Structure 1
Amino acid sequence: MSVRELRDVLRERAGGPPPANPYRHEQVRARIRRARFRRTAAAGAVAVAVAVVAAYLIPGQAGPVPLRTPAAARQGLPERFTSPDGTEYRRVGLVTLTGTEASIDVPVSGKPLEVATWCDGSLNRMPVVYVNSRRVHAPGYGCGDGLPRLVPVDVPKGSTQATLTFDRSAEGCVSLTEDGPCVPEQPDTAVRDVGVYEWTPPAMAVEPPRIKALPPEVDGLRLAGSASGRWPGATSFTLTGRGAGTVTVHLLCSGDLAQRMWFKFWVGGVEGRTRLGCSSWTRGPFPDAGMELEVPRGEQVTVTVRTGMWGEYTNRPVRWSAGLYVR
């Protein structure tokens, strides 16, 4: 057992049994996406890594602004800000990561807590977050994935204070070429501010925008069935169709917390993959929003999908729409 593994075991045992992690498959896919991003950069296809930032962390902006902001134009993490759906955020703690790990004690008022940081470069990612020595599983929140840099964290009910620890130790290995060896991942050594924010749930539910209708055909596949809903609401739905070995489920969402929706799939009663996050489509070409599933060739199949949300969502609903596409 490595020092890193031993430290994780000690932390998890100190805080009690860790919660079930329904996002394991998505974590693996997120690591693969980051590895592919780095391979592309190493090959010279990407000349400059464009950092992805949370648009609503720019002070003074109450509405949506471009998600990609040049590093030179960035400001420090604000004390207060308003998200595009009108939710008010207030900073309750700030710590600077200069080494591998840093901790901070923050007050807990009962309002939802989230962690935010800027990310620069494809080798950097959100640090692993521990609350009172218990690891909070962040499913695939890494730089280069196109995801917001706000990560929800849970604290024990009834707490008035919590200790948050941020750990950015290098984990695992990456392949820098298509079939090259897996080499140790480079550590994140940048000086990085990490802010802890609490947000005040809106007094009334913020209605998310309506979603455009799914197209009748995508990449040569035709729409065989669809379903739509609103979270919180029904927690599962089914789609039926006849596939030629595979089918594709396309997912669209609207609402500030769309990237925290998760969708778990069953094909013919057999549990399959899980997807975290959901694309938005307001203009331009149809987004790459598909999840390919293996099905018996030529047979009528039923795809059951369970929905859920990671983190708190009081009065911040999300609309979703799903379509089953077949050959």
Structure 2
Amino acid sequence: MKLPHHHRYGYSDIASRADFNWPGGRRLAVYLGLNAEVFAYGSGLGAELAPGGPQPDVLNYAWRDYGNRVGLPRLREMFDRLGLPCTVLANSAVYTECPGLIESFRARGDEIAGHGRSNAERQGILTEAEETALIAEATATLAEQEGRAPAGWLGPWISQSAVTPDLLHEAGYSYVLDWCHDDQPVWMTTRTGRILSVPYPQELNDIPQIVARKREAREFAEMIRDAFDLMLAESARRPLVMGIALHGYLMGQAHRAGPLEEALRYMQERGGDRVWFTTAGAIAEAFADRP
């Protein structure tokens, strides 16, 4: 029996790989993936606080909009207090829908990565021509606004077609976050070269845990601490990447922000000089010369 395969990368046991260090001799790279997303009013996709009624679904639309108006600013102020960078995963429509929001993270020196046009749509269901156009449109907006093209991409809803890695490489991207299959970066083949898969969390991600599994902030924060403790211990044997995925309308809520801040402070205090608090793009750059 031969199973269908993506042919993007081969199998590799993480315990058998060659050792290396992150910059400064550090062993565990930690980054915060902060999703800045906008949604269509009265149509399209969107996470739900409660089962939505007929459109316009004001309950869920307004809940998501809270994330951009209050939640993300609250998290930005938290990161300022902690002195932590983040990778902002930005829908390109955020620039027009929420003027000044992405700019405030740019002013902090945060990385701005591509995250499609909006989270009201999936790219993986499009034709190749349509997906190419979506990537081009989102990339052009970020390049114009930020003064340089983004290096990394996370698809809206982590949606990929069979050719998405090819299209991203051809559009100039050096890394992708959609493939959540490892604790180290992994090179993926494309039809015109290779693109790096940087680990993005599906478990330490507030949408699957809070929306899907109905866990709350203190349990999510405990998961972050537990993962950090184990990965910090494992990093003595092999370098690792730990990502934490956040959304303003979830962990930016007033009753959830406190436990998150406690978990991040715990990581800072316990990690010492073994931990590199960084961005997904810096991780990709540090790994770029590895085979």
TM-score with structure 2 length normalisation? 0.27
TM-score with structure 1 length normalisation? 0.24
Bigger radius of gyration among the two:
1
**Higher relative CO (CA 8 A, sep ≥ 6), structure 1 or 2?**
2
Structure that is richer in helix per residue: 2
